[in-house]
């Protein structure tokens, strides 16, 4: 894939994710101006859950449509919906309508899945891991920069400035993509063989149901601490809001730094190396979270563990989506990527729910043990499936 196309996708992804994340952490504050009491807690949960629900059901549909008409148009659709939804939020003040807009945004947007499908459809096999890693790093960059910029704008200009900048930014990227991004109706050509890469490129490690389970579990583990980490930081680490934000940011910063390197490694690795790497990655990710059970009043150690966790989070999703791509032909990439994102959204929803329940039933430190258990389940599933595959091959 040409360097200028990768750069366009990378910056487009940062702006799209950053535009959404500018308001992400501040929705409870925004809604508090329109809702009070019990309804505030309900709507504060719905504002995060509804977009995930919408995306979970719509992602395979958009992916399949992209396979038919081109994923460039799916990227344009997502960017336009993001620009429109941010614009509508400028004028809509009733909390019920805000939730509806967020739900429609989840159903109709989906820039991450669209850009992944476009990149996989138009790139050569030997560079797909590296490209997925770069796109993963752009998501991390947008997640990292969005809240910082959003907080600054809210402090100095108010909530509407966030939606104004988000809408204008997405609209500008929409026109840039429309004018500069090449069409993708035909799959790439493998020059070494002189024929289309419409066939499945190499045997995958896992079946489709196993991959979807692993994607769901990976996102469950990633989102599980979102319900209690801020409370842990305040009560156990005795950290300020700024310090808690920095701890969040360290994980995203590690993903930003290491995702491209993981992708480059997986492009060169064989199936045995990939299996061993995935087992090691899940083990280290689980240990980094289990260690939080013993961390008290040490911001330095907590920051180190969050950074280490980010290093291994940077590897998991690109690797699993590469395996998902191996299951299908070039003409079905969008549908498979959409199914993968549906599974990951389901895992995120379960993770948020499990995290919320855990803080009411368990000591707050024990929530991190649940993350470690989730990674242990992934390890067992990987090991069992790999063993069955080895038996069949022998």
Q: Is the pTM of this model over 0.85?
A: no
The Cα–Cα gap between 140 and 318 comes to 13
Which two structure tokens, joined as six digits, stand for 111?
A: 């820039």
CA distances from 152 to 86, 87, 157, 159, 353 (A): 18, 20, 8, 10, 30
pLDDT, averaged per 10 consecutive residues of the chain (394 residues), comes to: 88 91 77 62 78 90 90 94 92 86 90 89 83 89 85 82 92 95 64 41 77 94 83 82 78 89 87 90 94 84 93 91 82 85 90 79 81 94 83 67
CA distances from 221 to 43, 78, 375 (A): 24, 27, 7
Q: How far is CA 173 from the centre of its chain?
A: 20
Q: Is 183 exposed, middle or buried (0-12, 13-18, 19+ CB in 10 A)?
A: exposed
The Cα–Cα gap between 317 and 323 comes to 10
CA distances from 138 to 11, 12, 18, 266, 294 (A): 7, 9, 10, 18, 32
Per-residue DSSP letter, 307: H
Phi, psi of 192 (to 5 degrees): -65, -35
């Amino acid at each position: 894939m040409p360097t200028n196309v990768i750069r366009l996708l990378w910056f487009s992804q940062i702006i799209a994710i950053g535009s959404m994340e500018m308001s992400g952490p501040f929705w409870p504050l925004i809604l508090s101006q329109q809702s009070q009491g019990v309804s505030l807690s309900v709507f504060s949960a719905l504002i995060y859950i509804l977009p995930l629900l919408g995306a979970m059901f719509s992602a395979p549909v958009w992916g399949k449509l992209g396979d038919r008409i081109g994923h460039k148009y799916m990227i344009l659709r997502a960017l336009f919906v993001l620009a429109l939804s941010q614009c509508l939020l400028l004028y809509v003040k009733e909390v019920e309508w805000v939730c509806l807009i967020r739900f429609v945004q989840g159903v109709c947007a989906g820039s991450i899945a669209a850009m992944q499908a476009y990149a996989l459809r138009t790139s050569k096999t030997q560079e797909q891991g590296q490209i997925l890693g770069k796109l993963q790093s752009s998501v991390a960059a947008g997640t990292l920069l969005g809240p910082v910029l959003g907080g600054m704008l809210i402090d100095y200009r108010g909530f509407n400035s966030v939606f104004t900048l988000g809408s204008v930014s997405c609209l500008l990227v929409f026109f840039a993509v429309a004018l500069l991004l090449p069409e993708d109706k035909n799959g790439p050509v493998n020059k070494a063989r002189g024929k289309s890469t419409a066939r499945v490129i190499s045997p995958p490690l896992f079946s489709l149901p196993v991959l979807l389970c692993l994607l769901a579990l990976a996102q469950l583990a990633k989102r599980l601490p979102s319900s209690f980490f801020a409370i842990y930081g305040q009560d156990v680490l005795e950290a300020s809001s700024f310090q808690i934000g920095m701890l969040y940011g360290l994980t995203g910063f590690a993903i930003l730094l290491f995702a491209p390197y993981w992708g480059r490694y997986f492009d060169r690795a064989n199936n045995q190396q990939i299996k061993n790497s995935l087992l090691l990655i899940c083990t280290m990710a689980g240990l980094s979270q289990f260690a939080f059970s013993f961390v008290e009043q040490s911001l330095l150690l907590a920051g180190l563990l969050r950074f280490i966790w980010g290093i291994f989070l940077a590897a998991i999703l690109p690797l699993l989506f590469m395996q998902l791509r191996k299951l299908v032909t070039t003409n079905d990439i969008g549908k498979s990527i959409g199914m993968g994102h549906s599974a990951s959204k389901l895992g995120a929803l379960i993770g948020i729910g499990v995290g919320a329940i855990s803080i009411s039933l368990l000591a707050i430190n024990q929530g991190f043990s649940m993350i470690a258990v989730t990674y242990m389940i992934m390890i067992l599933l990987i090991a069992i499936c790999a063993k069955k595959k080895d038996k069949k091959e022998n």
